[in-house]
């Protein structure tokens, strides 16, 4: 889970590029970076930190150009605190290429060896995104030995790339003095959407974004989602051309985008995230109703679950209350890899309002329960503030399997639902009862809005890895690898 932005225009784009990237800050808080292109010149600034910390007004004086890309990183592979892992990545051959990537390659180890021994290209970091950058550059180089570049050669290069790599990838890239390229993996696991804006001179500025929120907050209009396996090129003179570069691609959007990752004001595959979360609440409430629990109050674990909790309370006809004051400057605890860090972060982030808990049977509503560390700490806080009973309902099913497509659920042994039934999970996190959404109901909460979506990547719930190259040996190997 990272956030990517690409903008192509006939006028300077550095300010709007930074503004759009800030709109995706929720997707990654470890590093930030932007690259701009002014003819054959490329400019780059990237480092550890938030967008506002990494990209200053002074930086914008030299980050000039009419085309640019940006990235915020939430690390899933590679060293978390290494500034060299920040995107965009750069290679100077064959033309000068910048690339930013959202996702995770599942055959990165094989590719790394191939890039070195067969493609004779050096990779400086342990990032799969740098591998992807070099493969794109190599495939393009093979087709442009005469240094003549055109759209057809770019399409062919990415067709070849798609045959070599597996996993999840949404990509924006700059090719020096040529233009921008955006493409999405054949399963469309990670989102990518196109927007546009007609300027005062009647020219069109195009924006590619991981989420529509960054498009709309900058007064662009949504055009459409980039299709699975599709490549879209915007040349430096503003011409746009698109082509499917994989045989028989099929959408399998990551279902966790709707549960947690995306902002509620975003629209992904014609589904408003806010409406999907309302539906999650309605389906979850029906399941809770069947249990005949004595519930005095419904309280969300802010912020993602608020919409869900409102619908739960409304359906159950129980009072909805805000029970926590949230410090919005602490970041998203899901993104912290260390259990002790998450525990401390929860205490710093959520301060309870005692009167909402004292002497009550409390139903907490959360978007998901992954490692259980956060849930355990929150339940402990609620009990200390006088709750009689504490139930917790999750809008997502039990997370039983690692996610290998770009979300930090690295090993099964870290998951609270691994080898535990619901009663054992409740005991482990200190709840009187835990209620999980069913996977069918979770899917229905989305397909009720857009019936054209027929398949999802729900691998962390059902263990079905759609790229087909994930087996027990692969999953076990993750245990001995430091994924951050």
Residue 2 appears among annotated catalytic residues: yes
In this prediction, residue 212 carries a pLDDT of: 98
Instruction: Please give the backbone phi and psi of residue 453, each rounded to the nearest 5 degrees, phi first.
Output: -80, 115
Mean pLDDT calculated for residue range 426-436: 97
Report DSSP letters for 251-311, one per residue. Answer: --EETHIIIIIS-TT-EETTEEHHHHHHHHHHHHHHHHHTTT---SEEEE-TTTTHHHHHH
What does the DSSP 8-state code read for residue 220?
P
Rounded-to-integer distance, Cα 412 and Cα 1, Å: 19
User: Which token pair is 390?
Assistant: 């504490």
In this prediction, residue 342 carries a pLDDT of: 59
Bridge partners (DSSP) listed for residue 235: 179
Whether the Cβ atoms of residue 425 and residue 416 lie closer than 8 Å to each other: yes
pTM here? 0.93
Query: Which residue shows structure tokens 């590719």?
Result: 111
Mean pLDDT calculated for residue range 216-237: 98
In the chain, which segments carry CATH 3.40.50.2020?
274-453
Region of poorest pLDDT, from 268-272, 330-334, 432-436, 478-482: 330-334
Count of C-beta atoms within a 10 Å radius of residue 471: 10
Which position among 2, 245, 254, 460 bears the catalytic label? 2
CA-based nearest residue to 80, from 256, 337, 367, 458: 337
**CA–CA distance from 56 to each of 15, 30, 61, 307 (Å)?**
10, 17, 9, 35
Class of domain 274-453: alpha beta
Q: What share of the chain is helix, strand, coil (3-state, %, to 5)?
A: 35, 25, 40
> Could you read off the pLDDT of 91-104 as tens digits, one per residue?
998 999 999 999 99
In this prediction, residue 483 carries a pLDDT of: 37
Top-confidence residue, 348 or 264? 264
Mean pLDDT calculated for residue range 156-185: 97
**Res. 298: pLDDT tops 70:** yes
User: Which token pair is 90?
Assistant: 């750069």
Q: Percent of the chain scored above 90 by pLDDT?
A: 82
In this prediction, residue 392 carries a pLDDT of: 98
**Res. 174: pLDDT tops 50:** yes
Whether the Cβ atoms of residue 60 and residue 13 lie closer than 8 Å to each other: no
Model confidence at 413, in pLDDT bands (50, 70, 90)?
Answer: confident
Instruction: Please give the backbone phi and psi of residue 402, each rounded to the nearest 5 degrees, phi first.
Output: -65, 150
User: Which token pair is 385?
Assistant: 């503030």
Mean pLDDT calculated for residue range 416-431: 96
In this prediction, residue 484 carries a pLDDT of: 31
> Could you read off the pLDDT of 123-132 as tens digits, one per residue?
988 899 999 9
Rounded-to-integer distance, Cα 314 and Cα 423, Å: 26
In the chain, which segments carry CATH 3.60.20.10?
3-251
In this prediction, residue 387 carries a pLDDT of: 97
In this prediction, residue 468 carries a pLDDT of: 87
> Could you read off the pLDDT of 436-452 as tens digits, one per residue?
999 999 999 999 999 99
Question: Domain 3-251 in CATH: superfamily?
Answer: Aminohydrolase, N-terminal nucleophile (Ntn) domain (3.60.20.10)
In this prediction, residue 482 carries a pLDDT of: 39
User: Which token pair is 69?
Assistant: 């890309």
Rounded-to-integer distance, Cα 37 and Cα 123, Å: 23
Region of poorest pLDDT, from 76-90, 393-407, 465-479: 76-90
End-to-end Cα separation, the chain, in angstroms: 12
Cβ burial of 440 (10 Å; 0-12, 13-18, 19+) is: exposed
Whether the Cβ atoms of residue 172 and residue 189 lie closer than 8 Å to each other: no
Region of poorest pLDDT, from 204-218, 259-273, 412-426: 412-426
Residue 18 DSSP SS3: helix
Whether the Cβ atoms of residue 69 and residue 88 lie closer than 8 Å to each other: yes
CA-based nearest residue to 140, from 159, 152, 150, 154: 154
> Could you read off the pLDDT of 181-195 as tens digits, one per residue?
999 999 999 999 999
Mean pLDDT score of the chain:
92
> Could you read off the pLDDT of 302-361 as tens digits, one per residue?
889 999 999 999 999 999 999 999 887 665 555 445 556 655 766 677 899 999 999 999
Q: Are strands 456-457 and 253-254 parallel, antiparallel or unpaired?
A: parallel
């Amino acid at each position: 889970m990272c956030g990517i932005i690409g903008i192509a225009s006939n006028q300077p784009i550095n300010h709007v590029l930074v503004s759009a990237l800030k709109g995706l800050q929720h997707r990654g808080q470890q590093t930030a970076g932007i690259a701009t292109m002014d003819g054959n010149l490329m400019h780059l600034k990237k480092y550890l930190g938030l967008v506002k910390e990494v990209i200053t007004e002074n930086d914008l004086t030299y980050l000039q150009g009419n085309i640019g890309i940006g990235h915020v990183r939430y690390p899933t592979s590679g060293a978390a605190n290494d500034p060299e892992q920040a995107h965009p990545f750069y290679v100077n051959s064959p033309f000068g290429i910048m690339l930013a990537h959202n996702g995770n390659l599942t055959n990165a180890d094989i590719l790394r060896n191939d890039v070195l021994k067969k493609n004779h290209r050096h990779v400086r970091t342990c990032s799969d995104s740098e591998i992807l950058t070099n493969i794109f550059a190599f495939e393009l180089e093979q087709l442009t030995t005469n240094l003549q570049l055109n759209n057809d050669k770019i399409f062919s290069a990415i067709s070849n790339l798609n045959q070599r790599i597996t996993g999840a990838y949404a990509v924006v890239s700059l090719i020096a003095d040529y233009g921008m390229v955006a493409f999405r993996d054949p399963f469309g696991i990670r989102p990518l959407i196109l927007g546009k804006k007609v300027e005062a001179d009647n020219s069109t500025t195009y924006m590619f974004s991981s989420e529509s929120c960054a498009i709309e907050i900058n007064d662009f209009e949504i055009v459409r989602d980039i299709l699975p396996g599709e490549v879209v090129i915007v040349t430096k003179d503003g011409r746009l051309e698109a082509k499917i570069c994989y045989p028989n691609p099929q959408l399998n959007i990551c279902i966790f985008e709707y549960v947690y990752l995306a902002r509620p004001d975003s629209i992904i595959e014609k589904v408003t995230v806010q409406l999907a979360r309302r539906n999650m609440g309605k389906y979850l409430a029906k399941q809770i109703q069947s249990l005949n629990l004595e519930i005095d109050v419904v309280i969300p674990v802010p912020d993602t679950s608020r919409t869900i909790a409102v619908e739960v309370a409304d359906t159950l006809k129980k009072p909805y209350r805000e029970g926590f004051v949230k410090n919005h400057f602490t970041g998203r605890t899901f993104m912290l890899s260390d259990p002790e860090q998450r525990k401390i972060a929860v205490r710093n982030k959520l301060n309870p309002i005692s009167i909402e808990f004292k002497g009550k049977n409390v139903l907490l509503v959360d978007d998901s329960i992954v490692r259980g560390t956060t849930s355990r700490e929150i339940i402990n806080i609620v009990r200390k503030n006088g709750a009689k009973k504490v139930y917790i309902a999750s809008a997502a099913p039990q997370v039983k399997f690692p996610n290998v497509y770009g979300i930090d659920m690295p090993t099964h042994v870290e998951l609270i639902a691994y080898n535990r039934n619901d009663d054992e999970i409740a005991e482990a996190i200190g709840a009187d009862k835990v209620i999980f959404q069913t996977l069918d109901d979770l899917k229905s909460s989305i397909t009720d809005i857009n019936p054209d979506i027929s398949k999802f990547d729900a691998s962390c719930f059902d263990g079905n890895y759609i790229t087909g190259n994930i087996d027990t040996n692969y999953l076990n190997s993750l245990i001995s690898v430091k994924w951050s």
